[in-house]
Copies of this chain bind each other. A is one copy, B any other.
Amino acid sequence: MAEGSGRRMAPSRGRSVLRAKSALTRDRIADVALTLFNAQGYTAVTTNRIADDCGISPGNLYYHFRNREDILWYLFEGVEKRIHRLFLDPAFTETGVDRLRLQIMGAAEILAEFRFFFHDHIAIMRRDPRVEASYRGLQRDVTRAVARDLQPLTGEDGEQSFRLASSLWIVATGWVSFLEVQGTAVDPVSILSLVDAVLDLVRPRIRPAA
C-alpha cells in the first residue's frame, strides 16, 4: 500500500494509485531477482535476465532500480529489519532458552530465503561498501545481543559468552552451505535441523539454576 494514500483529497488519488502500482512492480522485481540469485548465485545474474523473467523491459526495470546492486540493497534492507526484530527489538520479551529457540527458528527462515547472500557474503561485501558496513554492524550487534542473553543462562564471563555467541552466529550463517555441500536440499523442513544444532551447543552450558 502506498504510504499516506488516505491523507490527500480526490485530485491526487490517481497519483497514489500509480505509486502503489509502482511499489508492487518494485517488489515483484525484487522477488524475481531473489529467486534467480538463489538459483544461480548473485554474480551470475544480469539485470536483463531479471527483467526478462519479470516480463518487463530492461528500461522499465531501470525505472525502479538503477542496477543489480540497488536490488541487492533493497533485499538486504529487508533482511536487516527482520534480523533486528528477532534479536534487538525490546518488544520481543521471551527469555531464556525459549527466546533462543524462537530466534533461531526465525533466523533459519531468513537464511533459507536469502541463502545466495550467505553463500558468498565476503565476495558480495567486497564489491559493495554499503552492504559491507551494514552486514558488519549486523554481525556485531547480533553477536553482542546473544552474548548478553546467554550470560545469565550459563554464568560464563563476557569474553566466553561472546565467543559462544560468535560460534552460534557462524553455525547459523553457515548451516545452509553445509547442507548444500552435504547434498541435502534446503527447504523449510531441512533447515530446521539448525535449531537442534544450535541448542545442542548451548544446552550443556546452562546452569541448573537457570
- By a beta-carbon cutoff of 8 Å, the part of chain A in contact with chain B is 41, 43, 119-123, 125-126, 135-136, 139-140, 160, 163-164, 166-167, 169-171, 173-175, 177-178, 180-183, 193, 196-197, 200-201, 204-205
A196 to chain B: which residues have CB within 8 Å? 163
Q: Determine if A170 and B163 form an interchain contact, defined as CB atoms under 8 angstroms apart.
A: no
A-side binding surface: helix, strand, loop or mixed? helix
Q: How far does the alpha carbon of A204 sit from the alpha carbon of B174 in the complex, in Å?
A: 23
Of listed A41, A178, A205, residue having the most chain B CB within 10 A:
A178
Of listed A135, A140, A167, residue having the most chain B CB within 10 A:
A167
Q: How far does the alpha carbon of A55 sit from the alpha carbon of B200 in the complex, in Å?
A: 52
Can you list 20 residue pairs at the A/B interface with Cβ under 8 Å?
A119-B123, A120-B123, A123-B123, A135-B181, A139-B178, A139-B181, A139-B182, A140-B182, A163-B196, A163-B200, A164-B200, A167-B167, A169-B178, A170-B171, A170-B174, A170-B175, A170-B178, A171-B171, A174-B174, A204-B205
